[in-house]
Amino acid sequence: MQNQKIRIRLKAFDHRLIDQSTAEIVETAKRTGAQVRGPIPLPTNRERFTILISPHVNKDARDQYEIRTHKRVLDIVEPTEKTVDALMKLDLAAGVDVQIKLD
């Protein structure tokens, strides 16, 4: 697996979960002898919703909600076979979306 790179993108609504997951991935990769670049925080998407709370009139009565999507990127440079096996066996939190790309 020489001259290859693994790019891992993580998405989550809770920043504590995503930070915990990145720490686990970095620790696992370093333990197996791979070089890690990151975690690189990407911009947080803030999606806002405005809802009328009155069923008929009173246009001024509204509630506002927002949901934030936190993202991180990790690059694992020159991964070994041990690194790939350890990452496949790694059990991450349920609220974290993981995308893995081999370059």
Query: pLDDT of 2-41, one tens digit each?
Result: 578 889 999 999 999 999 999 998 998 888 888 888 899 9
The pLDDT value given to residue 47: 94
User: In the predicted model, what is the mean pLDDT of the chain?
Assistant: 88
Residues 54-80 have pLDDT tens digits of 888 778 888 999 999 999 999 988 888
The pLDDT value given to residue 2: 58
Please give the structure tokens belonging to residue 49.
């919703």
The pLDDT value given to residue 6: 87
* 6-53+70-102 CATH choice from 3.30.70.600, 3.30.1370.60, 3.40.50.700, 1.10.340.30: 3.30.70.600
**pTM for this entry:** 0.78
Q: Which residues partner with 26 through β-bridges? A: none
